[in-house]
Every structure is written in C-alpha cells, then in structure tokens.
Structure 1
Amino acid sequence: MRLSEAKVPQSGLADLIDLIYAAALAEGSTWPEVARHIYTLTGAQQATLILPDANGTKRNVFLEPGTYDERVRHYYRDISPWRVEAGNAIREGTAPVGVVVRGEDIVPDRAFLNSEFYNDYGRHAGFRHMIGGLLNAQTADLVAFTRDAAAGPFEERDRHALQSLMPHMQRALQLRSRLEPDASRLGAGALDALSIAVIVVDGNMRVKHANAAAVALTNGVCGMTVSRTGPDSSLGNTLLSARHPDDHSRLSQLVAAVAKGGSGCALRMRNTRDEPASRASLAVLVSPAMTHFLSGPGTGCRIQPGTAMIVARHLNHSSLPHPGLMCDLYGLTKAEAAVALSFGGGATAEDVARTRCVSPETIRSQVKAILRKTNTSNLRDLERIIAISSAMLPAPL
C-alpha cells in the first residue's frame, strides 16, 4: 500500500517538510533525498525541479548529476506539451502559483498521446502521467512528478498530498535565493575595499567589472579611460582604452593574449597624450582573471576563460593608511600612528619633529616604540609596512 493510500502521519509529513528546507539550504539533506520521500508519498517514479547549480548551470536538482544524457533530456523537456502550455500560461499571467494540477488539466490526453514528446521519448522513458505546479512566476520555477502508463494516473489524494507541500517548497526556494552565498558579490565587495584599481575586461577590452578605485581612477587624469558603446553605461556596454595610441596598442595586445591563455605582463602608461614615455607614471599589470571574483560559489579559484584582469596605480601618487588602521594592526597609540605615517617619502626624524613642533628626542623615543610594535628594524622597513597596509584602504568615494 502506498503511503498516500492512507492518511499521511503528521510526523512523517513534518519530517518531509524539514527535509525540503534542509535541501534548499544544503544543511544535511539533498533534493534527490526529498524526491525519494515524495515518491513514497505519491507513487511518483520521476521528479523534475530545474534550478541553477553552484556553477549557475540549470539542471534537474532532483536527480544526481550525470545520471542522464543532458542534451537529450533538455531537448525533450523543452518540447514537452505540459511544459509548453505551462510556459504560455506563465507568459500570459494566467498560471496559478502554488496550485498543484495534473497533466490532463493542462493538456488533453489525446493531444498529449499524439505529441512528438510522448511518442519519441515519453512512452519509453516513463512519462505518461504528471502532477505538479508553478512555484514562482517570476523565475518560472516548476515542480513536476511523473509516472508511467502501468502505474496509472495520479489521483486526488496525490494532488492533496503535494498541495500540502507546495507552500513549504515555495518558502524554501525563497530562503535559498536570499541566503545562498554569491561569490561574485562577495568577490566584488572585496575588490571594492582595495585602494588599487582593478578592472576585468574581455579580449575585446569590454569592461566586465571595475572596482571603486578603478572608477575613481578612470574618472580622473589617468592613462586609461572608458567609453560607452551601448545605450547605457552598464557593464558590458563600456569599453576600456588608453589615452595614448601607442599605450592603447600595447594594452590591447596584452589583454588579447591573456584572454587566449597568456600569463600577462606589466607596463607603464602615460597619463596624457603629450606625456613623454620616459615619464609614464601609471603602473599597469595585466594578468589572468580569477573565477573567485566573477563566478558563483563552488567554482574554486581558477582562471576565468576569455578575460583579463588589469591592476593599475599611479606611481607618483602616495596613499597612506588611516591612523586608526595602524592602531588596530600594530597596537600603536594615535600619536605613534601619526608619527609613523609622517615618515613616508624618506622624511627624517628632524623633518617630522619640525612638522609636529616637538623635539627630535621625542620623535626618536616614539620611533623606538613604533619599530618595536611593528616588528621593523629601521625607518625604511617601516615605510614598507606602511605601503603594504595602504592597500587595505577603502577606495575613495
């Protein structure tokens, strides 16, 4: 006797609902496990729920990856009369959301049995009877359960059992959408925290991502600029170029080479068309872009094909970390942090003393404490620490 032929125990239904939420949030359950429990509940033999996986590729999460020929399955899924009619209703805004229906309520039996889907695929693959519903009209998330001709059509008790699960599946997918980590957003946020300009482009110099420092850099006097190529200035509609024609040629060649698998190179670029090459002060590094910043969770840190990452910074523009950052990192007092930052650019103890209107002895005493707390041996070593710490600055707004 199927579980649905008797009254479903409330405890069993509660356990299944728990599994649905756990699968959606990847916390101790999987969608195939949920499907197996629903098979027991309704007598279904197969299940379909198309969602994007960790790589952003849509697949039937009710099946284990690699358990069927994706190309064949996708072709017939797209021409399924059930799916076609459901898609039409979604576009017309007439599809009921959260309501379980049976296949014969969507497509008359005669039309279904005469379809290419059923005769070439469904008959042999066990897709004769269907029950399911629309979970989300905006994302067109559909859930469906099927069985073969021998098992017979789904009955009202099956529809009722699934209807009790539909609100939980809807809420579980909402939670999945809102709480699932998005590596691309996290990576972009990490890049925006840097004071160094980072721009990711494709092989044709179209901008895929630019952090806050890059936006500030290209909006100012800089050897690189962006121009709009489409009706708006969104990413993908902006093109990166160098102001000097020779620099643009070199940069374009490097980007194209990296997009095709090259390792990249560093170069200096002129800030204006009139600046001599010997005085070029924009340092640029072109290298492969990483999936860590541009793809979804689970992709790992690999090279993003067809893209290049450009890191740029003015050589003659010094940037210093906030005194508070030095206090947090190295345990300096506010006065010690201010003194430490005063040594940038090769200043001496006497120079700092004059600037701060104190005696050189006071500065030397503070320097001893600063060197000890930062574990540096001299002022040049301290400058190195300050330069490294400056990369932790948020980009200017």
Structure 2
Amino acid sequence: MSDVIDLIYGAALGEGATWPDLGSQLCSMFRAQRVSLSIPDAPGVLRYLLGGGNEYADAYAAYYHRIDPFRQRAERIFHGLNRATLHAVIGEQIVPDDVLLKSEFYVDFARGAGVRHLLGGMLGVRAATPIGIQRDARSGPFDEGDRQLLMMLLPHLQRALQLEERLALANRTQLGTGALDTLAISVVIVDGTMRVLHANAAANRLMDAGHCGLAMTRSGPRPGVGAITLLARHPDDHSTLGKLIASVAMGGALRLRNTRDEPAQHASLAVLVSPAVSHFLSDVRDACRVLRGTATVVIRQLNHALRPPPGLMSELYGLTKAEADVALRFSGGATVEDVARVRQVSLETVRTQVKTILRKTNAASLRDLERIIAISSALVPTQL
C-alpha cells in the first residue's frame, strides 16, 4: 500500500514515477487487466492519465464514454452526494448484469475490449472524475475487500490530482502568460462559464482599482484555484458578456458600463472576446490550437489614453524625439491643426513632420498611425 501511495504522488509531481508506473502497480494490486483514469481537458474531451494510448482508450474517449452506463450512473451518484464524499463501488452494484450484458456499451465495445467486471471510484477535482479498474471474465468479479482497498487509495488520488492541477496552473506556459503580463492592455482568459483561467498583470491592476465595469470574484465555500469568475457590474452587461463568451467561436465586441447607474450610451469599457489559443494555457511544446470553449477577453478603457513612451517610438520606428512627440499627439483623433496649436508651430511644419512619420512607420494615413500607436502601446506595461 505504501509503495502505491508513493507512486500516486510521484506520478502527480513528476518525481521518480509516471502515471503508467502507477497503472501497472494498481493492476497487480487488484489482479486486474486495465486501470483507467481520465480527466476532462475541455467540454467533451478526455485526457487519459491511466489507460490511454491504445485503441480501446481512443474509442472510449471518442464515443463510448457517452453511453457508458457505469460512468453515467456513477456521475449521478457523485452529484447526489453533492461532490462531498469520495465513493467506490463494485460494478454490479451500479449496473446490474442483466442490464449491462444487453447494453450497446457492452455488446459493441466492452466485450471486445475484454471488460467484464468493474470496480469504480469517483473523485471530484474540477468535475466528476472516475477511476475504473477492470477485469476480464476469467478473472472473476471484484469483492468488498477490493472496494475497501480502493476506498483507502481514493483520498490520495484526489489530493494528487489537486496538486497536479495547482502545479499546472503555476507552470502553464511561462512564455505565453509571461508575454501577456508584459502588455499594458488588460487580458483575461476564461472558460465558457466565465471561470478565470488567467488574468494578466494589467487586468489585475484595472480590476483591483474598482473603477471599471468588470470584477473578478471568488466563489464557493473554500475559494481556491479555479474558483474565480469574471463578473460585469451591470446585470444586463453581465448577461450579454456571458452569452458572447459562451458562443465564443464567432468572437465579438461590446461596451460595458463602469457602474450599475451609468447610462448604456455612456459605456466606456471596451471588451473584445475571441477564442483562446493553447499556447497561453499549455506547455510551449504543444501545438498551437484554439481551445474549445475558452475565450480571450481583451479590455480597454476608452476614456483613458494609452500611449507608448516617446523613446519606444524612436527605437521601433527611428523617429526623432520631436517626431515621436508629434506622432503620439495624434493618438485619440487629434488633427494637424490641433497638434500645431499645442506645439505652437506652423501647420506647414507639422505637415512636413507627418509625412516623415508616415514614411518611417509605414502608415497609410493618420488613422493608420493611430492603430500603430495603439499596438505599440500594448508592448510596455504602464506600471512596472
């Protein structure tokens, strides 16, 4: 038992053991042919920790987990227990033999895969997380002693999965999330229920100040990892934002009110919602892909000018100090006349400078120059 417990934590922490090592040891302990443990990676997508990497696991993850009577019944039991109690049960106690042997799951899948008897346990990490220990017909059914043995292991498996998730959150894409933290614009990554997966430094500063129409709130009796949700302060805005995030595949934008009393026509918090990509929330070695059901929320206060320092404009585009100052004054829709008046120079002087600025920045017009300035302003945080 102690060796198996060591393997559980070693696999979760990546210290001297792997999940397949644990699977082999569990098969020996329970005289079983297969152990499966999968966690939801995204809505409708399973990631195997134990029992993956074979035709059986691929077929199960692709389709048969949806009609698995053991899994369906176990999840109902889990929710009935209000996710508070770890639970282990012998398969025949979940699904009677006469029901199992007639089911599509058994006839089309389990029989061919050599799965006849099951010992199941249910963990609760982010969602119902079942572990299944499976025997073929020759090995015979599990008994109460096997169930008690699994019950002794479940608390350790639960804690190990929680540790793995916390470590994953701490170590996720230092390149991706680190890049987000250097931005001056606020970026929050959420799942389809508006649970916050990552908020960059600018977003934390913006919402900590309490003067914008968005907030990040903790929920649940023991808030912790994954227990923070994004909330729009105005109920109507919150509903609209939630719908936009839930249907993120198309993307979209909206304006939010900063207070519950602010008229809709004065809403000054601009929000852009688009699908998130895996490089923000996975290992940098993984292929870059859109994460289904996960959204990137970019936030900007329209009534707060966001400009890069003049020195950055000079470094990026080779502008002189005077040209950089002139370029930045066009941010926000200023005209040539406005800039000439503020700088107390002639219109001709400003027009000459504008031509040079447009050439050096490769901008097509002053409005295009504004776009370039906005992009450049995102490169340097407003506070360090």
TM-score (norm 1): 0.52
One of 126, 142, 151 as aligned partner of 1:163: 151
Structure 1 residue 64, shift from structure 2 partner: 4.3
Which amino acid in 2 is paired with 1:395? Answer: T
Structure 1 residue 233, shift from structure 2 partner: 3.2
* Conserved 8 A contact 2:27-2:33: yes
Matched, 1:154 2:163: no
* Conserved 8 A contact 2:10-2:17: yes
User: Could you list the per-position Cα deviations for residues 90-115 of structure 1 after superposition, in whole angstroms to 9, with x for gaps in the alignment?
Assistant: 34447783232101111222222222
Which amino acid in 2 is paired with 1:19? Answer: L
Q: Provide the rounded CA distance (Å) in 2 between the counterparts of 1:316 and 1:161.
A: 61
Matched, 1:231 2:239: yes
* Conserved 8 A contact 2:123-2:130: yes
Task: Please name the residue that 2:309 is paired with.
Answer: 319
User: Could you list the per-position Cα deviations for residues 197-234 of structure 1 after superposition, in whole angstroms to 9, with x for gaps in the alignment?
Assistant: 8899xxxxxxx999676998xx9xxxxxxxx9982335
Task: Please name the residue that 1:194 is paired with.
Answer: 183
Which amino acid in 1 is paired with 2:241? Answer: S
Structure 1 residue 29, shift from structure 2 partner: 1.7
Q: Provide the rounded CA distance (Å) in 2 between the counterparts of 1:239 and 1:126.
A: 48
Task: Please name the residue that 2:89 is paired with.
Answer: 101
Which amino acid in 2 is paired with 1:292? Answer: H
Provide the secondary structure at the position in 1 that maps to 2:252.
strand
Which amino acid in 2 is paired with 1:113? Answer: L
User: Could you list the per-position Cα deviations for residues 359-378 of structure 1 after superposition, in whole angstroms to 9, with x for gaps in the alignment?
Assistant: xxxxxxxxxxxxxxxxxxxx
Q: Provide the rounded CA distance (Å) in 2 between the counterparts of 1:190 and 1:144.
A: 40
Structure 1 residue 43, shift from structure 2 partner: 0.4
User: Could you list the per-position Cα deviations for residues 226-259 of structure 1 after superposition, in whole angstroms to 9, with x for gaps in the alignment?
Assistant: xx99823357387349xxxxxxxxxxxxxxxxxx
Provide the secondary structure at the position in 1 that maps to 2:240.
coil
Matched, 1:395 2:363: no
Task: Please name the residue that 2:74 is paired with.
Answer: 86
One of 31, 38, 58 as aligned partner of 2:26: 38
Q: Provide the rounded CA distance (Å) in 2 between the counterparts of 1:147 and 1:163.
A: 18
Question: Where has structure 1 moved over 6 Å in runs of 4 or more?
Answer: 196-200, 208-216, 305-310, 389-392
% of aligned pairs identical?
38
* Conserved 8 A contact 2:307-2:377: no
Q: 1:298 to 1:160 in 2, by over 3 A?
A: farther
Task: Please name the residue that 1:365 is paired with.
Answer: none
Q: Which runs of 5+ in 2 are unaligned?
A: 190-196, 207-211, 213-235, 255-275, 312-319, 325-375
Structure 1 residue 297, shift from structure 2 partner: 2.4
Quote the RMSD (CA, aligned, Å). Answer: 5.0
Structure number with the higher strand fraction is 2
Q: Which runs of 5+ in 1 are unaligned?
A: 1-12, 201-207, 220-227, 242-288, 322-342, 348-388
Q: 1:315 to 1:66 in 2, by over 3 A?
A: farther
TM-score (norm 2): 0.53
Task: Please name the residue that 1:292 is paired with.
Answer: 279
Q: 1:185 to 1:90 in 2, by over 3 A?
A: farther
Task: Please name the residue that 2:133 is paired with.
Answer: 145
Task: Please name the residue that 1:380 is paired with.
Answer: none
Structure 1 residue 124, shift from structure 2 partner: 2.2
**How many residue pairs were aligned?**
264
One of 18, 41, 54 as aligned partner of 2:6: 18
Q: Provide the rounded CA distance (Å) in 2 between the counterparts of 1:125 and 1:302.
A: 33
Q: Provide the rounded CA distance (Å) in 2 between the counterparts of 1:51 and 1:189.
A: 26
Q: 1:101 to 1:301 in 2, by over 3 A?
A: closer
Q: Provide the rounded CA distance (Å) in 2 between the counterparts of 1:85 and 1:38.
A: 23
Q: Provide the rounded CA distance (Å) in 1 between the counterparts of 2:238 and 2:296.
A: 21
Structure 1 residue 346, shift from structure 2 partner: 8.2
Task: Please name the residue that 1:180 is paired with.
Answer: 168
